[in-house]
Structure formats: structure tokens, C-alpha cells
Amino acid sequence: MINAQQQALSAALQWHIDVGADEALENTARSIIAHPDISIVKKDKAQSGAKNPAIPPSPHLVGAANLRTEAIKSAASAQTLDALRDAITAFEGLDIKKTATNMVFCDGSPQAPVMLIGEAPGADEDRAGRPFVGASGQLLDNILGCIDMGRSTENPALSVYITNILNWRPPGNRSPAPAEIEINLPFIERHIALVQPKLLILCGSVAAKALLGTEDSTSRLRGKWHDYTPRTAGIADNPTPIPAIATYHPSYLLKTPSQKRAVWQDMLALRDKKREMGLIPQL
């Protein structure tokens, strides 16, 4: 029979899971006595009276500029998709790599005229090593199927090539941190440069903001076409703008099904754009 102490411990564990703290970084808890530096924040707060004392950034974030420089060099040197996959796998500049199970690179045909980019792998994608699987992946396949497109379509002209801004799952399925996105941006921009898609679908606000260099929400960005060009100098040879459309992420639609109508409108706009550009094959 579970006693009160066991119930309290179980509730505390569930709280950590709910807030996304599902990865143990150390085998034992750190003691304030053994590590007196932990109490510095409390001491500073008491002395200054500030409600939100400034906490010094981690060494990882301090070195973000150097890591981004390393990422640019590594991404720019990749001349093929296989080389880019190897470069991302070898890159040690993202801490989320340490807690992920698999690197998630792509799905679909690289000869597809349309490239869809999400934000980051979730738990299902991390286990499978493929982007957009599980419930959100099934919904995405249904959405694309409504306009005769899909990741596994034999005809490349009707296929969609799929990837994410980040290739590693953030712990607890949390949203990618701005520093993580900036460090990894050269890799996804090089990915686009190697595939050379005719059209881009930016799935969710993380992808849209990162690649379009904006702070606008998906609701403000969707419903119109944008020109994507790489933000990182030297990451692509003679880049030309690629028409890009922003739309809601399938995981958001699972929570907010009322927005499915908006995504349907975006897919119709995509189909019209493909027709306008002569990308719809004659059957």
C-alpha cells in the first residue's frame, strides 16, 4: 500500500515530467553544502532586493558565436546531402544532441519541388529517426494527400521533401531555444541550398521566424507568399529567392482543430502556386 511519503514523491516526479524535466543530467542531486555556489543567487537577491536577479549565462551560450562560426564552416563544406548528414552528426555544438536518441535528417524525395520544414523532432521522431511521425505525421500526410502530394509518392513531382530546423529533439519536447536555432541555422540553410526546392512550406512559427528573419506569428505570416533567401552569408552559391508559405504545425492543429480550415486554404494556395509555376504534372 502506498504511504503518504511515496505519494508525495510520485507527485513531485510527475510535476517534473509535466514541465518537461524528463532527462537526468546527473546521477545524484547536487547539494548546496557540497556546492555553495548554488546559494549565490539567493544571496544576491537578498542584498539587491531585485525580484529577478540576473543569472550569469552558461558557458555554452557565451560561446554561441564561436559555435555558429564553426557551424557555418561545417555546413558550407558539405557538397552533398550525405556529407551534410555526416556534418550534422559530427557537430558537437548543441547540447540537445547529448539527450537525443537519433539524429533526424529528412524524409521524402530530394527531387521533390516542394520542401516542408518543421521546427524540431518530438519523442516519436526521436525514436524513429524520421521527421513528422506519430499523430502529427499522420495528420500531415492527410493534409498533403488532399492536394495529391505526399512524402512517399513515387512520382517526384508529387512528392514533398521533409525536414526540421533542428535535427535533435530538445529534452521534454520543449521549444527550441533562440541560441540553438541561431547555431543550427547554417545547417538548415545549407540543406535548402543542396535540395534547391522550387517552393517552401514553413510549418509552424519556429520555422517561419527562423528562415524569414521575422518575429511575426504564424497567424500574421500565413495567407501570403514570402521570399526566402539564406540569412547566413556564404552558405549558398548565387542564391535566388524561393517562394515560401507559412502555415500551422500539425501538432498545433491537434490541439486547435478550428485552424484546420486555415491550413486547407494554405494548401489550396500551394496547389495554385504549383500550377502557376508549371509544377503540376499532366496526368
Question: In this predicted structure, which of 4-13, 33-42, 162-171, 234-243 has the lowest mean pLDDT?
Answer: 33-42
User: pLDDT-derived band of residue 59, with 50, 70 and 90 as boundaries?
Assistant: very low
Question: What is the tens place of the pLDDT at every residue in 136-156?
Answer: 999 999 999 999 999 998 898
Question: Interior CA angle at 12 toward 10 and 14, to 5°?
Answer: 70
CA separation for the pair 26, 239 (Å, rounded): 45
> Residue 65: its pLDDT value, please?
84
- Look at residues 93, 100, 89, 97 and name the one whose alpha carbon lies nearest to residue 22: 100
Question: In this predicted structure, which of 52-56, 130-134, 156-160, 171-175 has the lowest mean pLDDT?
Answer: 52-56
Residue 218, Cβ neighbours under 10 Å: how many?
21
CA separation for the pair 251, 143 (Å, rounded): 13
Residue 98 is classified by DSSP as G
180-198 average pLDDT score: 97
In the sheet with 225-228, reading across from the earlier edge strand, the strands are 160-164, 114-118, 199-203, 242-247, 225-228
For residue 63, list its beta bridge partners. Answer: none
User: pLDDT-derived band of residue 7, with 50, 70 and 90 as boundaries?
Assistant: low
Domain ranges, ordered by start, for the chain: 59-276
User: pLDDT-derived band of residue 35, with 50, 70 and 90 as boundaries?
Assistant: very low
With contact defined as beta carbons under 8 Å apart, do 219 and 265 qualify?
no
CA separation for the pair 259, 250 (Å, rounded): 10
3-state secondary structure of 246: strand
| Cα 13 versus chain centre, distance | 27
3-state secondary structure of 65: helix
Sign of CA dihedral 51, 53, 54, 58: negative
CA separation for the pair 21, 16 (Å, rounded): 5
With contact defined as beta carbons under 8 Å apart, do 203 and 139 qualify?
no
- Tell which wins on pLDDT, 160 or 33: 160
Q: Judging by DSSP bridges, how do beta strands 199-203 and 160-164 pair with one another?
A: unpaired
Question: What is the tens place of the pLDDT at every residue in 227-263?
Answer: 999 999 999 988 899 999 999 999 999 999 999 999 9
CA separation for the pair 235, 104 (Å, rounded): 21
With contact defined as beta carbons under 8 Å apart, do 193 and 75 qualify?
no
- The pTM of this model reads 0.78
Q: What is the CATH number assigned to the segment(s) 59-276? A: 3.40.470.10
3-state secondary structure of 36: helix
> Residue 40: its pLDDT value, please?
35
Question: What is the tens place of the pLDDT at every residue in 71-86?
Answer: 999 999 999 999 999 9
| Cα 14 versus chain centre, distance | 26
With contact defined as beta carbons under 8 Å apart, do 155 and 241 qualify?
no
The cell for 180 is 540553438
